[in-house]
Amino acid sequence: MARPAKYKTPAELEQQILKYFDEVKKQDSVITLTGLVLYCEFCDKQSFYDYEKKEAFTCLIKRARTMVEKSYEERLKGNNVAGAIFALKNMGWHDRTEVTGADGKDLYPKPILPYVSSNNSNPQTIKTEEKN
């Protein structure tokens, strides 16, 4: 049997979310997603995410998650950024660029790389092979 909903209205949850951010600021602490989840008395992150599936709560949960994400972004200014990078990667960020067209295929064709035949020691004789 499922537990009854902790928050009946978005306004109730919003009040608790705002209180969390205020408390963190007063304590000169660090905003975290887990901290927010626990402050709002959810048993785990998944329970918090499940509220996002409820139409009335969708925008509120997305905004709260974005506010936490912003906190991690701001930590990228410092000298010790590994934790922030780790957290942001778990929030869907990545540190590589993928250039593809609308069809999902590479915009730039793969280069044809020259190679020297292993049985030919003459470096002027170069064959090319297209790699797929």
For residue range 7-30, what is the model confidence (pLDDT) as tens digits? 999 999 999 999 999 999 999 888
State how far the Cα of 77 lies from the Cα of 99, in Å rounded to an integer: 27
Residue 5 lies in a domain: no
The predicted structure's pLDDT at residue 4 = 72
pLDDT of 95 above 80: no
Residue 124 lies in a domain: no
Length reported for the chain: 132
Residue 127 lies in a domain: no
- pLDDT, averaged across the chain: 80
Residue 86 lies in a domain: yes
Residue 123 lies in a domain: no
Highest-pLDDT range among 16-25, 91-100, 110-119: 16-25
With a CB cutoff of 8 Å and minimum separation 6, the contacts of 37 are 44, 45, 47, 48
Proportion of the chain above pLDDT 90, given as a percent:
43
The predicted structure's pLDDT at residue 110 = 66
pTM over 0.85: no
- Specify the number of domains making up the chain: 1
Nearest to 12 by CA among 40, 47, 50: 40
Residues 18/21/27/28 CA torsion (nearest 10 deg)? -150
The predicted structure's pLDDT at residue 76 = 77
Residue 108 lies in a domain: no
The predicted structure's pLDDT at residue 122 = 52
What domain range is 50 assigned to?
10-90
How far is CA 87 from each of CA 29, 47, 79, 100, rounded to the nearest angstrom? 17, 19, 16, 26
pLDDT digits (tens, 9 = 90+) for 47-79: 999 999 999 999 999 999 999 888 878 777 878
